[in-house]
Structure 1
Amino acid sequence: GATPEIIEELDESLAYFAEIIKRDLNKDIKDIPGAGAAGGLGASLMAFLNAELRPGIEIMIEIVKLEQAIKDADLVITGEGKIDSQTIYGKAPIGVAKIAKKYNVPVIAVAAIIGDDADVVHQYGINTLISVTGTPMRLDESLPNKVSLIKNSIKQSMMAIKTGKELKKN
């Protein structure tokens, strides 16, 4: 919740920090994607510990051997708290969808909130967006019911698929 003034001050401070790193350690961290996230933590790890930055979703995909699971799947269901235009910048559903797209596996993404600008995710392999909440609901109302809300949204998705298969028969 930083104000625009505080954000400007933070950006200036991080830029100054990057200048010092370049001058003293001969490492240019200023324009490395992800290096400024979390207040420059990534940049610090790279500068002082020679760390390598990788998107978290890439690491998780390797750990759980997701590609092997997806390549023979008929359908992938993934989820996120909120899906909007920011989702394309490294969030899990896009990482999952990229693999599924490679194997021509359709993807349903389930979310508590679907932003007005969420359609952009279709370009990255997400075929369908499903909202967990069928009606407007406050967070304190949805959290205690999250399991039943998710189950219901998945059930409705499966019913839609079943309907689609029946249409093919006729």
Structure 2
Amino acid sequence: TLGAKLLDKFGKPIESGGEGLKNLFRIDCSQLDSRIKRTKFIVAADVDNPLLGKRGAARVYAAQKGATPKMVGELEKYLTNFARVIEKDLGIEVADLPGAGAGGGLSAGSVAFLNARIKQGVDIVIKAWGLKEKMENADLVFTGEGSIDRQTLYGKVPFGVAKIAKKYGVPVIAIAGNVEDGAYMLSKYGIEAIFSTTPRIMTLAEIRKNPGQLITNTVEQIMRIYRLRKEGC
């Protein structure tokens, strides 16, 4: 372990998981691993959501993972207590920090206990891959993710790719296994069209059996249309 202790009001360790945070009273970092202070940590977050609030970890992502409205409300209270104790004992404010809600609040904990910096994961990947240089001579760009929805606007890969492509005037087409309400708002930000890879109503298990083939089939059909356009048909 890293050495930090999350304790209840009796000085005993709290239970693991979100529910345990309701009993969090004090954080003891007196035995925190000394190597942490000598190490620079960067958290690559795929969204800029804060820890709490309408766009926070509980209200946005817990529901996606199957939590009921009651469970979401409870988790929001537990995370609020977590943020309060972090600020009280460590002097670090994570409640409204952009990106702190990524990974179910993992980013918030990383900032609190590792003194980590949160960076947009897509920016890290774009730089490492040299995407800007590759984009200059591109005719068409494909991007995608498992599900494209309103959250895609908050720093996910398709949004980051589209921002760069727009600078170079390159059209972007996005593909996803699931296309939800709000996805088409991305047209304002450089994504020309969005396609689902599922040709019919399919269960998640069916989609996971052969996602590569579904992607290939979808891209092939898109390119057939693109070729017709290039040929002036």
Please list, as runs of the form range in 1=range in 2, the aligned pairs for 1:58-69 lying within 5 A after superposition: 58-69=123-134
What is the TM-score normalised by the length of structure 1? 0.88
In 1, Cα distance between equivalents of 2:200 and 2:155: 28
Provide the identity percentage.
Answer: 48
1:9: Cα distance to partner?
Answer: 2.1
Map Cα deviations across residues 97-128 of structure 1 (whole Å, 9 max, x no partner).
11111111110111122224321111121111
What is the TM-score normalised by the length of structure 2? 0.66
1:134: Cα distance to partner?
Answer: 2.1
Which of 194, 217, 225 in structure 2 is aligned with 1:160? Answer: 225
Please list, as runs of the form range in 1=range in 2, the aligned pairs for 1:99-118 lying within 5 A after superposition: 99-118=164-183
Residues 1:140 and 2:205 aligned together: yes
In 2, Cα distance between equivalents of 1:100 and 1:135: 31
Closer/same/farther in 2, CA of residues 145 and 12 from structure 1, 3 Å limit:
closer
Closer/same/farther in 2, CA of residues 56 and 138 from structure 1, 3 Å limit:
same
Q: Secondary structure at the match of 1:34?
A: coil
Closer/same/farther in 2, CA of residues 41 and 126 from structure 1, 3 Å limit:
same
1:96: Cα distance to partner?
Answer: 0.9
In 2, Cα distance between equivalents of 1:10 and 1:93: 29
List runs of 5+ in structure 2 lacking aligned partners.
Answer: 1-65
Closer/same/farther in 2, CA of residues 130 and 6 from structure 1, 3 Å limit:
closer
Residues 1:21 and 2:86 aligned together: yes
1:18: Cα distance to partner?
Answer: 1.8
- Read off the aligned partner of 1:130 and give its amino acid letter: F
In 1, Cα distance between equivalents of 2:115 and 2:82: 17
2:214 is matched with: 149
Closer/same/farther in 2, CA of residues 39 and 167 from structure 1, 3 Å limit:
closer
Please list, as runs of the form range in 1=range in 2, the aligned pairs for 1:3-14 lying within 5 A after superposition: 3-14=68-79
1:37: Cα distance to partner?
Answer: 3.2
Closer/same/farther in 2, CA of residues 53 and 122 from structure 1, 3 Å limit:
same
- Read off the aligned partner of 2:137 and give its amino acid letter: D
1:25: Cα distance to partner?
Answer: 2.3
1:32: Cα distance to partner?
Answer: 0.4
Please list, as runs of the form range in 1=range in 2, the aligned pairs for 1:53-132 lying within 5 A after superposition: 53-132=118-197
